[in-house]
Amino acid sequence: MNLLSLLIFLPLFGAALVLFLPASQTKYFKWITLGFCAVELLAAAVVYHYFDLSNPSFQFVEQTDWITLSLGSLGAVSIDYLLGIDGISLPLVLLTGVVMLVGAVSSWQITSRQRAYFSLYLLLTASIMGCFLALDFFLFFLFFEFMLLPMYFLIGLWGGPRREYAAIKFFLYTLLGSVLILVVMIALYLSAFDPYSSLNAQTIVHTFDLRYLADGHNYLPNSLLNGLSAHQIMGLDARLFLFLVLFAGFAIKLPVVPFHTWLPDAHVEAPTPVSVVLAGVLLKIGGYGFIRIAYNIFPDAAAEYATLLGILGMVSIVYGGFNALAQSDLKKMIAYSSVSHMGFVLLGVASLTPEGLNGAVYQMVSHGVLSAMLFVVTGVLYDRTQNRQIEAYRGLAKPMPAYTTLTAICFFASLGLPGFSGFVGELFTLMGGFQSEFMPKWIATASTLGIVLAAAYFLWTLQRMFFGPLWTQKGVESLLADLTPREKIMLLPLAALTLVLGLFPHFIFDITSATITEFLKKFSLN
């Protein structure tokens, strides 16, 4: 079996194992999950080991026919089980391995309905991996939408007091996003065809293969999405219109500001490990979708709308920052900081420069590590006191010194202190914004405000919660024990990782640069 299939089916096998083991083995479920996540990370590392850094195209490609439908006079459509990995998806696959492992450790505190929880968790792992590895648009969509189900139940069953509301809100928002993607998918495959199979089969074979969809020559003449045909939808050129629809679909996932309101609710109600996974990996699928699908298929539209997208990114950065400043709930503050940080990803992608795109992928990895850490930190406090209000604590440094140190590290890393990964990501995306030929400079200038805001809300929170004399509500002081070894196991590697990535950013850039250079050739033609 190919390595990439292994990455998808290993967690599925784990989920089945957890599901069918007898109830007497309940205490081993978390160990099984941990084991599978560890092997998953190992497998991802093996992929990295054998990955050819200088090759910009897809590697480890694996293709099997899956569904073939005849469309009568219109030819046929073929849906393949098609996997592959390149410099854009590899960092995210590695990130997924790390974050899912941390999430598995963080899941130790789950005590109710363990069988359901751990099988859903492994199912989620499989579908996230599938999303990053799929090269067939249809397959990608299946994983993308199927991912919502385990997430929905994880939030809805193990979440906080308003979990039902948060779960259905999360589901409805992201589902709306995925149906928008579905529309574009349908329009795409009606227009595009597979040049090789069509030659062999003597009829038009429509395809979902992203490699063919990305090539403008593979579109039927005079079809809806052929670049030369002037089809219009609602007064807009069809390609531009459908790019916007696709963008909206992924923007909900990222999230970009007008579509972000599901995120704070979902985060606040979700249990700690689910928050970690949600912020650490799930949001990245939005950014990955921009690059892999929206930009890859509609380069002309992406260049056309670069300014608009850049402004949306800037608005996300600034608006998220101001909102984070205003929050009294620690978890909500971090959720809004996620909105702000993911805005940098959009800014970098929209800039269409090597710095911007490399920086965007880097920022996704960096934010994945940092937000996982931030949510673990919040979870530590919440586990002890069941209270996440910032004003409920003061002077936590005294009873919890190790906790304070690690919190400070991840706060500083998040606000972009040089030496940590957050700095590199923000720096490169902003550089991209400044150098871009596709958008005006003031967008990047305004976005720098986001860094200032990040410093403000992180430092202010640090000051309010950890410094000064110890003060909490009555009866809580005795609960404030320092980090347990399990929590250290989660936080220390993440802290090390953000430091390593910050000091040696080429670990990521080496992977991404070849692919992105090739990718950007599409845009230099116009």
CB of 18 to another protein, least distance (A): 14
Among 45, 46, 186, 308, binds another protein (CB under 8 A): 186
Name the one range near another protein by CB under 8 A: 8-16, 85-93, 94-102, 153-161: 153-161
Q: Residue 200, interface with another protein (CB under 8 A)?
A: no
CB of 231 to another protein, least distance (A): 9
Toward another protein, which CB reaches closer, 72 or 475?
72
Q: Residue 224, interface with another protein (CB under 8 A)?
A: yes
Toward another protein, which CB reaches closer, 149 or 520?
149
Alpha-carbon span 80 to 62, nearest angstrom: 10
Among 71, 326, 452, 481, binds another protein (CB under 8 A): 71
CB of 170 to another protein, least distance (A): 11
CB of 220 to another protein, least distance (A): 12
Among 132, 153, 375, 411, binds another protein (CB under 8 A): 153
- Exposed, middle or buried, 473 (CB in 10 Å: 0-12/13-18/19+)? exposed
Alpha-carbon span 124 to 15, nearest angstrom: 9
Q: Count other Cβ atoms within 10 Å, centred on residue 416.
A: 24
Among 9, 28, 58, 146, binds another protein (CB under 8 A): 146
CB of 318 to another protein, least distance (A): 30
In the region spanning residues 226 to 255, those forming contacts with another protein, defined by CB under 8 A, are 233
Structure tokens at 428: 């490169």
Contact 306, 352 (CB under 8 A): yes
Among 84, 156, 359, 432, binds another protein (CB under 8 A): 156
Toward another protein, which CB reaches closer, 12 or 397?
12
Which residue's entry shows tokens 């250290």? 488
CB of 72 to another protein, least distance (A): 3
For residue 63, the cross-strand partners are 82
Structure tokens at 379: 């979870």
Name the one range near another protein by CB under 8 A: 48-56, 176-184, 252-260, 483-491: 176-184
Alpha-carbon span 204 to 221, nearest angstrom: 12
3-state secondary structure 130-197: HHHHECEHHHHHHHHHHCHHHHHHHHHHHCCCCHHHHHHHHHHHHHHHHHHHHHHHHHHHHHEECHHH
Q: Residue 326, interface with another protein (CB under 8 A)?
A: no
CB of 179 to another protein, least distance (A): 5
CB of 452 to another protein, least distance (A): 38
CB of 233 to another protein, least distance (A): 6
Alpha-carbon span 297 to 261, nearest angstrom: 28
Q: Which helix (H) or strand (E) holds 275?
A: helix 272-277
Let me know the angle formed at the C-alpha of 84 by 421 and 515, rounded to the nearest 5 degrees.
50
Toward another protein, which CB reaches closer, 141 or 319?
141
Alpha-carbon span 47 to 122, nearest angstrom: 20
Can you list the positions of beta strands (E) in 248-382? none
Q: Residue 190, interface with another protein (CB under 8 A)?
A: yes
CB of 164 to another protein, least distance (A): 5
Name the one range near another protein by CB under 8 A: 28-36, 173-181, 380-388, 466-474: 173-181
Toward another protein, which CB reaches closer, 35 or 160?
160
Alpha-carbon span 300 to 171, nearest angstrom: 32
Among 7, 99, 163, 335, binds another protein (CB under 8 A): 163
Alpha-carbon span 239 to 206, nearest angstrom: 18
Q: Residue 16, interface with another protein (CB under 8 A)?
A: no
- Please provide the distance, in angstroms rounded to a whole number, between the alpha carbons at the two ends of the chain: 42
CB of 268 to another protein, least distance (A): 17
Among 34, 149, 408, 459, binds another protein (CB under 8 A): 149
Among 1, 20, 27, 69, binds another protein (CB under 8 A): 69
CB of 144 to another protein, least distance (A): 8
Among 18, 82, 105, 148, binds another protein (CB under 8 A): 148
Name every residue whose Cβ is closer than 8 Å to that of residue 506 and which is 6 or more positions away in sequence. Answer: none
Q: Which residues in 428-454 are b (16+ Cβ under 10 Å) and which e?
A: bbbbbbbebebbeeebbebbbebbebb
Let me know the angle formed at the C-alpha of 307 by 305 and 312, rounded to the nearest 5 degrees.
95
Q: Is 237 helix (H, G, I), strand (E, B) or coil?
A: strand
Among 45, 179, 308, 496, binds another protein (CB under 8 A): 179
Alpha-carbon span 367 to 319, nearest angstrom: 18
In the region spanning residues 116 to 145, those forming contacts with another protein, defined by CB under 8 A, are 141-142, 145
CB of 142 to another protein, least distance (A): 5
Toward another protein, which CB reaches closer, 71 or 308?
71
Please name which of 231, 234, 225 lies closest in space to residue 206, comparing C-alpha atoms: 225
Toward another protein, which CB reaches closer, 234 or 525?
234
Alpha-carbon span 98 to 104, nearest angstrom: 10
Residues that bind another protein (CB under 8 A): 67-74, 141-142, 145-146, 148-149, 152-153, 156-157, 163-164, 167-168, 171-172, 175-176, 179-180, 182-183, 186-187, 190, 224, 233
